[in-house]
Amino acid sequence: MIEIRFHGRGGQGAVVASELLAQAAFLDGKQPQSFPFFGVERRGAPVTAYTRVDERPVGLRTSITAPDAVVVFDPGLLASESVTDGLRSNGLLLVNTPRPPESLAAPPGVRRAAVDATRIALSHHLGTPMLPIVNTAVLGALARATGVVSLESLRRAVEQFVPARPEENRRAASDGYSEVRAVEGTGSATVSGPKARPPAPRLPEGPIASVSSETIHTSAWRTFTPVIHLDRCTKCNFCWKFCPDAAIEFDANGYPVLRLAYCKGCGICAAECPPKTIEMVAGA
Amino acid sequence: MAKLTIPAQELMWGGHSACPGCGPALAMRLLLKGLGPRTLVSIPASCWTVIATPYPTTALRVGVLDNAIEATGASISGLRAAADALGLENVNIVGFAGDGGTADIGLQALSGMLERRTNAIYVMYDNEAYMNTGIQRSGATPWGAWTTTTPVSAAVHGKPEPKKDIMGIVLAHRPAYAATLNPAFPEDFDQKVERARALVGPRFLHLFAPCPPGWKFDSSQTIALGRLATDTGVFPLYEVVDGRLRITRKTGGLKPVTEYLSAQGRFKHLSADDMAQIQAQVRTDWEHLQSREREDLGRVH
Amino acid sequence: MTWKVLSGNYAQSYAALLARAQVVSAYPITPQTSIVEKIAEFVSSGEMDAEFVKVESEHSAMQVVISAAALGARTYTATSSQGLLLMHELLHWASGMRAPIVMGVINRAVAPPWNIGADHTDTMSQRDTGWIQLYAESNQEVLDTVLEAYRLAEHPEVRLPVMVTEDAFYLSHTVEPVDVPSRADVDRFLPPREPHAVLVPGEATRLGSFTGPDHYVGFRHQVGEAMERVSKTLAGVEEEFREVFGRSHGGALPTYRTDDAEAILVTMGTSTTTARSVVDELRSEGHHVGLAKLRLFRPFPDEEVRALARQVDRIGVVDRSYTFGRMGPAATEVSAALYTAPHRPELTSFLAGIGGRDVTPEEVRRMFETLLSAAPPRTHWEDLEEAEEMRVHG
């Protein structure tokens, strides 16, 4: 059995990817299983999905804690250690990134693969620069790097199950397949296993919450980051007024200051800034 | 720094779980600015259940009570009764519910709260569909809009029924105050919140709350779209105090609704005829609103 | 204290008054209405200093008291039958919020067909909502139990909502002498609520919240732990009640003439009174029979039932409702409690008084005869033209 865990952000298509992979594996004559972790499903928020592929019907109904492959749709998610949690030492880390696979940090022994799925997606007009739909390109890369499904079945699955732009998505899958680059792991493989599941904590009585949500940082949700060019700023406060994330405050001179830990990169401040002093720059 | 045109206080924390460009998140931020810290907000199952972040965190610097989706009207009646019984003074009691939780499943409790004259502010944040469950149509979804339960086909152009007139329903209860608010106009928004806060009795705020993923537009366009909604007459801004209606944003002439509709993916299937039909309805509604305002003005003098 | 001839419903109203409930909310339903009419009078005359929120449904009534309790108020509501069923969703909210609400429930049959007679189907359907359930047999017990219920609900060891039930008409509309305690005595027994985990204006707190699997299990477990402490806490509360008022009601499972009994009937609510008289008759005729009253149904008094079983070979459980596809709900519970008992008596589930039929002395006598017969059945429906035995699960 091969177990694959997908890490993406809401809206990138990670859940659809896990299902498409299952459809493709079924076309290959395998017995797949796929399901999302249903948490806070929000556009931009981290999401996880799982696919198992086996010769026999899968006899497990649990989340995947020791994956053979981890697929990361957004390099921003690599900052979170939990992405590679439990990844088998002979496993694979596949990341959507323009950087070479050699630059990827991975646990010892883990093979690393990289594909610039964002560029592929945009070249086929899949999604917007703010939210490229990278899943079919990533799946093409995964098919090549793991051999878990054939490209032919993947292309057939895309054709049958992708509701919009099937032809563009098929081409993206093929491009991902041909462009992915993989390198061996570094260091000696260590036997690792899934992290022990912590027991549920003892709680104060009654479901009453009082910790500030500012202990949560949402910067990893961003695809684009605002940059304020203060030289042209008129201190009109529009950026502050319209920010849905309370991510803008003022310095002592009344200039806006970004609180980037809470900015999700929606771009409202840039769109609403009358003298257009705010620029949205790619990356978190 | 230029003088702030809305209150400086921030009672909504960052780190919340709203989607980028979320209209309801901005609406909550502006609402609390106008209400201040001595506010208790009752929130039913809705996007804001999740936006407010999971235990043990909370995204608001005020008291928040979770309630069942259909029970917001009753919940704020209970909070007000307790505040009165316990002698808690200067407390704003607020219900903050979505359009489904208000105009559909919560309509009975809303009507009950208005009828028994609960001294509280009921806020309906209107993103025009069940967004938290993934974009299913509600009674507040406009005619022609695509949702996952009003899929578009050759025969069906989105939702075949018109949007429920929640303000009409509320006004039939003769509330102390009712108004439409749009976060694209923060000063008008704040004035209405502060006016509502100062009044006693049942008050109702209908908040326009654009949803980028549900309406299918880029998250940077939330404010631009909000402005278009009002300037095309799709979501006119007005208030009703003691039964007297006043339009708070007057436009020389309405912009064509196509500007508003074509900015959203949920309307992209509409034909020119469909759009003309919407335009005609918006114009009729706008004329009704203006004539109601003139009538009410005549009544005063 | 003053003796008054009161209905069971007025006993509820007086208890709410004496407990100084601060927020009351209710929706009318037969046969509960006179409770809230009386409370409306109390509030209107100024005798009771409470906010009475008149709502448009039972669902809203329950939400009003949940939200009022969330701010620290002492609350009261009452309902019956369909109204209780409509509240079902919110009953879970109340226990999950740890809201110490006290609710009077008039046990009434559930439609269709429409029937307003006594029947326990309504409260039995709420067994798994995290509410403590106490069943009363007399109007005195109704009044006293409501006062005890506040102590129990607000007790730091418990903090759970309580429903105090009474049979439709047999108590709700039956008048009998009730010793109504003085306000001073009640104040001595029941001090003002000490709020815990409530909202405070000006403070950033969220009550209810949402959680993933990690925390959720902890909160569910907490409710379970609180339930585990109820039986013992009730015993302590009853002791204090006796100190102040000179009477109490026997805790979770009061027994009657069970020493050396060969057969014991377990009853709930008003059928207990009739059955007690029959036990006296049968005893005088030389039969070794006894009675146990299931006063606390949630949490279920396992220990007490097992102690009872130690001394008897035949137990019959009289249920005023039926779990379709199983047997009487109380019989099911007794049966489960006996699984780990060292001595397991024969058990018969009697279905009697369904939908408001009288549970007559003759019927109770027949139940004892059936119990003492050579091979008592697993379930036995009273009141049918030909007694029907259902052995599906026997």
Q: Can you tell me the distance from the alpha carbon of A244 to that of B209, in angstroms, rounded to the nearest whole number?
A: 11
Contact B74 C60 (CB under 8 A): yes
In angstroms, the separation between the Cα of residue C48 and the nearest Cα of chain B is 12
Q: Which residues contact C361 (CB under 8 A, 6 or more apart)?
A: C274, C277, C278, C281
Please say if the pLDDT value at position A261 is more than 70. Answer: yes
CA dihedral A282, A283, B1, B2 (to 10 degrees): 50
In angstroms, the separation between the Cα of residue A203 and the nearest Cα of chain C is 7
Grade residue A283 by pLDDT with cuts at 50, 70 and 90: confident
pLDDT (tens digit, 9 = 90+) per residue, B51-72?
999 999 999 999 999 999 999 9
* Three-state SS at B145: coil
pLDDT (tens digit, 9 = 90+) per residue, C215-259?
899 999 999 999 999 999 999 999 999 999 999 999 999 999 999
Q: Can you tell me the distance from the alpha carbon of C18 to that of C14, in angstroms, rounded to the nearest whole number?
A: 6
Residue among A276, A239, A242, A283 at smallest CA distance from A258: A239
Q: How many domains does chain B have?
A: 1
Which chains does chain A touch, 3 or more C-beta pairs < 8 A? B, C
Give the pair of three-digit tokens for residue C253.
Answer: 């499972």
pLDDT (tens digit, 9 = 90+) per residue, B16-52?
999 999 999 999 999 999 999 999 999 999 999 999 9
Q: What's the mean pLDDT in A191-204?
A: 72
Nearest CA in chain A to B21: A266
* B280 interface with C at CB cutoff 8 Å: no
With contacts defined as CB-CB under 8 Å, which chain C residues touch B76? 67
In angstroms, the separation between the Cα of residue C284 and the nearest Cα of chain B is 55
Contact B18 A237 (CB under 8 A): no
Contact C205 B63 (CB under 8 A): yes
Distance of CA C59 to the CA centre of its chain: 20
Residue B176 is part of which domain span?
23-300
DSSP A136-150: HHHHHHHHHHH-SS-
Identical fold for domains A2-183 and A214-282, yes or no, is no
Q: Which residues contact C45 (CB under 8 A, 6 or more apart)?
A: none
Domains assigned to chain C: 2-193+211-245 (3.40.50.970), 255-381 (3.40.50.920)
Question: pTM of the predicted model, to two decimals?
Answer: 0.95
Contact C211 A205 (CB under 8 A): no
* C225 interface with A at CB cutoff 8 Å: no
Peptide bond into C299 cis (omega under 30): yes
* Three-state SS at B66: strand
pLDDT (tens digit, 9 = 90+) per residue, B206-225?
999 999 999 999 999 999 99
Which CATH fold would you assign to the domain A214-282? Alpha-Beta Plaits (3.30.70)
Query: In the CATH scheme, what architecture does the domain A2-183 have?
Result: 3-Layer(aba) Sandwich (3.40)
CA dihedral B103, B105, B109, B112 (to 10 degrees): 60
Q: Can you tell me the distance from the alpha carbon of B198 to that of B186, in angstroms, rounded to the nearest whole number?
A: 18
Q: Are C120 and C82 contacting, i.e. CB atoms less than 8 angstroms apart?
A: no
The residue ranges of DSSP E strands in chain B, in sequence order, are: 39-44, 57-58, 63-67, 92-98, 121-126, 177-181, 203-208, 238-241, 244-247
* Three-state SS at C143: helix
Which chains does chain B touch, 3 or more C-beta pairs < 8 A? A, C
Query: What pLDDT is attached to residue B112?
Result: 98
CA dihedral C146, C151, C154, C159 (to 10 degrees): -80
Closest by Cβ to A244, choosing from B10, B22, B55? B22
Please say if the pLDDT value at position C394 is more than 60. Answer: no
With contacts defined as CB-CB under 8 Å, which chain C residues touch B88? 71, 201
* A211 interface with C at CB cutoff 8 Å: no
* B105 interface with C at CB cutoff 8 Å: no
pLDDT (tens digit, 9 = 90+) per residue, C135-162?
999 999 999 999 999 999 999 999 999 9
Closest by Cβ to A267, choosing from B14, B52, B219? B219
pLDDT (tens digit, 9 = 90+) per residue, B270-293?
999 999 999 999 999 999 999 999
Q: Are A139 and A162 contacting, i.e. CB atoms less than 8 angstroms apart?
A: no
Contact C23 B78 (CB under 8 A): yes
pLDDT (tens digit, 9 = 90+) per residue, B95-151?
999 999 999 999 999 999 999 999 999 999 999 999 999 999 999 999 999 999 999
Please say if the pLDDT value at position C390 is more than 70. Answer: no
Q: Are B25 and B51 contacting, i.e. CB atoms less than 8 angstroms apart?
A: yes
Give the pair of three-digit tokens for residue B284.
Answer: 């009729």
The answer to which of A96-100, B237-241, C211-215 has the lowest mean pLDDT is: C211-215
Q: What percent of chain B has pLDDT over 70?
A: 99
The answer to which of A232-236, A254-258, C178-182, C381-385 has the lowest mean pLDDT is: C381-385
Please indicate, yes or no, if residue B6 is contained in any of the structural domains. no
Q: What's the mean pLDDT in B239-243?
A: 94
For residue C284, give the amino acid letter: S
pLDDT (tens digit, 9 = 90+) per residue, C353-376?
999 999 999 999 999 999 999 999
Residue among C365, C339, C338, C337 at smallest CA distance from C352: C365
Q: Which of residues 11-50 of B touch C (CB under 8 A)?
A: 37-40, 42, 49-50
Q: Can you tell me the distance from the alpha carbon of C13 to that of C172, in angstroms, rounded to the nearest whole number?
A: 11
Number of other CB atoms surrounding residue B23 within 10 Å: 30
Contact B68 C93 (CB under 8 A): yes
Contact B86 C212 (CB under 8 A): no
Which CATH number goes with the domain that contains B180?
Answer: 3.40.50.970
Please indicate, yes or no, if residue B1 is contained in any of the structural domains. no
Q: Are B26 and B183 contacting, i.e. CB atoms less than 8 angstroms apart?
A: yes
Q: Report which secondary-structure segment, H or E, holds A69.
A: strand A69-72
Q: b or e along C4-18 (b: 16 or more beta carbons within 10 Å of the residue's beta carbon)?
A: eebbbbbbbbbbbbb
In angstroms, the separation between the Cα of residue A248 and the nearest Cα of chain C is 21
Contact B52 A213 (CB under 8 A): yes
Contact A210 C206 (CB under 8 A): yes
Residue C162 phi/psi, 5° resolution? -130, 135
Give the pair of three-digit tokens for residue C126.
Answer: 């709420």
Residue A194 phi/psi, 5° resolution? -65, 145
For chain A, the domains span 2-183, 214-282
With contacts defined as CB-CB under 8 Å, which chain B residues touch A42? 17-19, 50
Q: Can you tell me the distance from the alpha carbon of B273 to that of B108, in angstroms, rounded to the nearest whole number?
A: 36
Query: What pLDDT is attached to residue C387?
Result: 54
Q: Are A89 and A110 contacting, i.e. CB atoms less than 8 angstroms apart?
A: yes
Nearest CA in chain C to A37: C212
Please say if the pLDDT value at position C392 is more than 80. Answer: no
Find which of B12, B53, B75, B92 to mutate to test the C interface (most C CBs within 10 Å of its CB).
B75
Please say if the pLDDT value at position C393 is more than 50. Answer: no
Please indicate, yes or no, if residue B15 is contained in any of the structural domains. no
